[in-house]
Amino acid sequence: MASTTYVPPQTKRNSDPVGGGDGGFQHGPPSRVSTLPGGVVPSQTGIWVAVSAISMMFAALTSAMIVRQGTAADWVHFKMPPVLYFNTVVLLLSSLTFEISRRRFGKDFDPGRKEPHSDARPPAQALRWLYLTMVLGLIFVLGQLIAWRELAAQGLFLATSPSSSFFYVLTGIHGVHLLGGITGLAYVLRLLSRSTGTQQKALLGVASVYWHFMDGLWVYLILLMMTRMAVV
């Protein structure tokens, strides 16, 4: 009598690396990898954290100023230095030149491309607009120093009155943060002068967020000082 041998069917092991390569359960398709290079996403997060922190600081200063004005009889209204209005125009122009430069850099920018032109020569016109932006920022800071001298010529110093104190503090803190923006812009310019790859252009976008924020913050401050400090 012939005998038959039963051979159990073999289970096909899963060799998919996603599932572990040894018959384990699959965990779905591999997650998508961000097309942005390392360092860009943290920079984008960091700039919004910085913007939020600066906004809260100036909101606190505004609240303190309004409370101080309403509870004291020594609040002095004074003539606003005329150079402040010139500074406002200069800063608005700097935002315009920054945006023109960013758009020129971004004409051939495709975030999904694997950066085939990372060593491409930067467009000269875009660099010129960016240099002009930095020069306008420096002119604004110089104008703020002139505004302080004009205020001192009126006999108003940091400790003269609560209103003059807030003027120096608000404009001084804004000026320091704008100098930080100029420093960051100089760093981005250094990178862009060498190449115009994906990372450099993404960092330029991060810098533009900060610069436009400082522009909008100054417009808010000048309106605040005109309504709370200037002679009616």
CATH number of the domain encompassing residue 193: 1.20.120.80
Q: Is residue 74 part of a domain?
A: no
Q: Is residue 22 part of a domain?
A: no
Cα(144)–Cα(174) distance, integer angstroms: 10
Q: Is residue 169 part of a domain?
A: yes
Expressed in angstroms, the distance from the first to the final Cα of the chain is 120
pLDDT at 71: 85
Residue-wise pLDDT for 161-181, tens only, equals: 999 999 999 999 999 999 999
Q: CA geometry: angle at 131 spanning 148 and 174, to 5°?
A: 30
Q: Is residue 140 part of a domain?
A: yes
Cα(69)–Cα(152) distance, integer angstroms: 21
Question: Of 127-136, 169-178, 186-195, 221-230, which range is least confident?
Answer: 186-195
pLDDT bucket at 40, cuts 50 / 70 / 90: low
CB within 8 Å of 134: residues ≥ 6 apart? 182, 185, 186, 189
Tally of structural domains, the chain:
1
> Cα dihedral sign for 199, 202, 206, 208?
positive
Q: Is residue 98 part of a domain?
A: yes
Q: CA geometry: angle at 93 spanning 91 and 96, to 5°?
A: 115
Q: Is the pTM of this model over 0.95?
A: no
- Which residue range(s) make up the domain with 169? 79-108+120-228
Q: Is residue 151 part of a domain?
A: yes
> Cα dihedral sign for 173, 164, 228, 88?
negative
Task: Report, as an integer, the average pLDDT of 6-33.
Answer: 47
